[in-house]
Chains A and B, each alone.
Chain A
Amino acid sequence: MVLGKIAGTITSSVNGTDIPGGRYLLINKCDQQGQIKNDFLIALDLVSAGIDEMVMVSQSTAARETPTTQNKAIDAVIVGIVDTIDENEKVVYKK
C-alpha cells in the first residue's frame, strides 16, 4: 500500500464505473511522517476518510478485491485510516 493524505474530493455526475454513492477522494502521497510529495491520485473511499487524514491506498488489481469494487473499473481504493506509525521504535506519525 502507499501512504497518502486526503487532499480533496472529486465530484462527477457522468461516471461509467456504476458504484452508486461512490466517494472519490484526491490523495496526495506522503511519507511515514506525513510529509506530502505533491504526487496525486484518485481513490475510491471505503472507510469514510476525512480531509487531511493519513490513509493507506491499495492499487491495481488488489483494488477490486472488495465487495464494493469487485469486477468494477477501479484501480485505487482507500483501505485504512492511519492512527500511528512507528519507525525504529520511535513514533513518527500520530493521528
Chain B
Amino acid sequence: MILARVSGTVVSSRKAEKMEGLRLLLLEKIDPISMKGKNEFVVAMDGVGAGLGEIVFYVSGSGARMAETTLGLPTDATVTAIVDVIEQNGNISYQK
C-alpha cells in the first residue's frame, strides 16, 4: 500500500457503468519523512469516506477490487485506510 494525502475529488458524469456510485478521490503520494507531496497523483476509489487533506493509504492493482465497497468494480486503486498516527524511530511523525 502507498501513503498519500487526499488533495481533491474527481467528478465524472460519463463513465463506465460499474464505476457508478463511489466517490473518486484525487490523491497525492507523500514522502513519510518530510510528509510533503511527491507531485505524483492518482485517482482512487474512496473505500472508507476519506476527507480532503487526510492522510490515507491505498491499495493498487487487483487488490483494489477486493475491498467490500469495490468488489468487482473496474478500479486499480482504492483507499482502504485513513491514517491516524505514523510512528518512526520511536517518535510520532504524524498525528491526525
Contact = CB atoms under 8 A, between A and B. Distances in A.
Given A16-B80, A17-B81, A73-B80, A8 B67 contact: no
Interface size class of B (residues with CB under 8 A): 35 or more
A18 B9 CA distance: 25
Contact of A11 (B47, B63, B69, B84): B84
B59 A14 contact: no
Nearest to B78: A73
A26 B88 contact: yes
Nearest to A63: B63
Interface in A1-53: 7-18, 24, 26, 38, 40-43, 51
B1 A42 contact: yes
Given A38-B33, A51-B89, A75-B59, A15 B80 contact: yes
Interface residues of A, number: 30
Contacts of A60: 61-63
A65 to B, nearest CB: 12
Nearest to B30: A40
B83 to A, nearest CB: 5
Interface of A: 7-18, 24, 26, 38, 40-43, 51, 60-61, 63-64, 71-76
Interface of B: 1-3, 31-33, 47-49, 57, 59-64, 66-70, 78-90, 93
14 contacts: A10-B83, A11-B85, A12-B81, A12-B82, A12-B83, A14-B48, A14-B49, A14-B82, A15-B82, A16-B78, A24-B81, A60-B63, A73-B78, A75-B63
